[in-house]
Each structure stands twice: as C-alpha cells, then as structure tokens.
Chain A
C-alpha cells in the first residue's frame, strides 16, 4: 500500500484523532451543537493542522531535539492566531458564535501530536497530506456529531449556515421536524458525550465485523499489532 493511502486510512478511520486517539475532545464536545459551528471549527483546525505540519516538517532538520516542543508550540500558536484573525475578518458571525474555542485550538493535542509523531520525521509533502487527512478525520467526526445533535435537538440541519458560507447559504437550512420545545439533552454538553460515545461504539462495531470477516485465513495475523494508540 502506498504511503499516501496509508495516511488516508490512518487519518480518516484507523487512527482517527477524535474516535481512536480521543484527542481534542474539549472543542469537539463544546461546539458541535450545530453543523455550522462544527464545520467552522473543523475547517479552522484543518487549516492549522496542515500549516503546522508543513512548517514543522520544513524546519525539522534545523531544530535541535531539546527545544523542539517550544518551537512546535510557537508555530502552532502562530497559525492559530492567524486563523483567528482571518475568521474575525471574513466570517465575523461564526467567529462570534465559536468564541473562545478558536484560540483554544492551540490546546488541541491532536495538532502537537501530529507535529511530534509525524511531521518532525517526514518530508514536507507527506506531512502536508498527513495534516490534511488527520484534519479531515477530525472534521468528519465534528460534522457528524453536529448533525446528530442539531437534528435531535432542534430538528434542523444547516441552521444559520450563512454565518460560515455567506448569505446564499440561508437556503441550505432544512427543517426536518418541528418541535415546540427543543430536545435539550442533545443540545447541552451531556448530549455531546452520549453522541460521541455512540459514534465510537459504532466504529468499533464496524471494525469488529470487518475483523470477523478477515478471520478466514487464520494464520494471517500472528504477532501482536504494533500500533499502540489504537488499543481500543
């Protein structure tokens, strides 16, 4: 399997930052009350992840081992601040509704995790692709969780998408059900925990099924799997 294909599978499924590595849960749980918020934070995280992976990979040969962490932190913080300024300038409404969670991307361990585990050891193009795929994996989980919570909580999809995409997106709003009262559990933080738990469980069920189908040639898997982060 080519390196790119491996990276794609790792980021989106096998080693998904949110479902397997369980990193970056604070923003994940806090902003996924609507698809728009989830997509906005997902895109912001993706941008930061690609930017930081590329920069870390470019400088990887010049940074001594002892000071790599502060250097990575500086790079990440720089990118987050830039993304924050850009969002403030061009998607003001979304910037207001995401609030503190944009600067908090700095503390998303998935980003420094990728910088340390992958970008600091691999060439630029692969690191960029790794950042893209990890960001994509994270964003997909955010959006799916956002869709679940918005649908169950408010009965809509793409509510106030115009904050992110401009005025034309107002027509994207779909009212699936009409509640007199919103279903609070889905909108409040516990709903996010339950939703994420269900997503992880769902992923594990699918993985188990795939595995049971592969059992046919029994001697294929002998030694212990080397991946530590996906013990779940």
Chain B
C-alpha cells in the first residue's frame, strides 16, 4: 500500500475499529504504519509452500 494512500486507510480502520486517531497523532501513526507495512512486505514477498502451518501455539 503506497504511503499516500494511508491517510484514507487510517480513517477507515479507525472507524471500523472505533479506535480514535486525533489529528495530532496522525503523522506518528502513519509513520509507524509505514514501517510495519514495509517490514510486513518483506515477509509477504517470501515464497512459502501452501502447506506451511503458522507457528501459533495451540494444543487441543
């Protein structure tokens, strides 16, 4: 997601989650989101087999 599209995305998710984002916080929230998405992209672009199980811990 391009950085210049993030403001609209932040507004939408803020509404969907009922999560307040005051205007004064927005630059820092956007900057943090940019970092998170950049790092997530690094993971996303790594090819994994379809069968790969997530590592979350659960034992029935």
Do these two chains really belong together in a complex? no
